[in-house]
Amino acid sequence: MKTMETTHTELVESWVNEHSDYLYSFAMTKLSDKNLALDLIQDTFVAAFQGVDKFEGRSTAKTWLTSILKRKIIDHWRKETAHKTDVASHFFAPGEDGGGGAWVMENAPSQRISSIEEEISKEEQIQELSECIEILPDNWKGIVLAKYMEGKKGDEICMEYAIMNSNYWVIVHRAKVVLRDCLEKKWF
């Protein structure tokens, strides 16, 4: 008869083989850093096996692992938000009242990226946009992909990321300013 330990060991192997590609693809829609993604996936498997008694067939292994990974990613975002750097800060000069001001000249939208439509194929444009998305901070990337790629509603995203609706719009705005500028600098 197999001991509990050998069973676990075999299970680790088979779960990693079956599910790690999916978990990795999932993590990379929410994070930019591959090593961080691998660390969180490792934490996910460890947490899964430590709590394996709670699992026992209540859902598929894939669903269960994904829900654990999701929580790990959210914990990471919350830590990151605490000391975030605003990658959009060099786009707008500070206003007189301490709020936002006018465009900083060298990063202002002086060209229209929409005018490139004919010159570069759509596939190539989307490819270049995917590259630009990698420069966004992790939680911005996650929010942008959840909104556009996954088509999630704002309310749902706010809940998942534990952010206020006003903050959600600021992130969407800043992310799009950064992405638009990234494409303008690639194309003009």
How near is the Cβ of 55 to other proteins at its closest, in Å? Answer: 15
Residues contacting residue 31 through CB under 8 Å, at least 6 positions apart:
37, 40, 73, 76, 138, 141, 142
Q: List the one residue from 21, 86, 134, 156 that touches other proteins (CB under 8 A).
A: 21
Q: Is 170 in the site for other proteins (CB under 8 A)?
A: yes
Q: List the one residue from 69, 146, 163, 179 that touches other proteins (CB under 8 A).
A: 179
Closest Cα to residue 170, out of 93, 100, 121? 100
Using CA atoms, how far apart are residues 79 and 183, in angstroms rounded to an integer? Answer: 29
Binding track, positions 57-76, relative to other proteins; x by CB under 8 A: --------------------
Q: Is 87 in the site for other proteins (CB under 8 A)?
A: no
Q: Is 90 in the site for other proteins (CB under 8 A)?
A: no
How near is the Cβ of 13 to other proteins at its closest, in Å? Answer: 5
How near is the Cβ of 16 to other proteins at its closest, in Å? Answer: 5
Q: Is 45 in the site for other proteins (CB under 8 A)?
A: yes
Residue 74 or 172 with smaller CB distance to other proteins? 172
Using CA atoms, how far apart are residues 46 and 52, in angstroms rounded to an integer? Answer: 10
The residue count for binding other proteins (CB under 8 A) is 56
Using CA atoms, how far apart are residues 47 and 91, in angstroms rounded to an integer? Answer: 42
Interface with other proteins (CB under 8 A): 8-9, 12-13, 16-17, 20-21, 24-25, 28-29, 38, 41-42, 45-46, 49-50, 92, 95, 99-103, 108-114, 117, 122, 125-126, 129-130, 133, 144-145, 147-149, 151, 154, 169-170, 172-173, 176-177, 179-180, 183
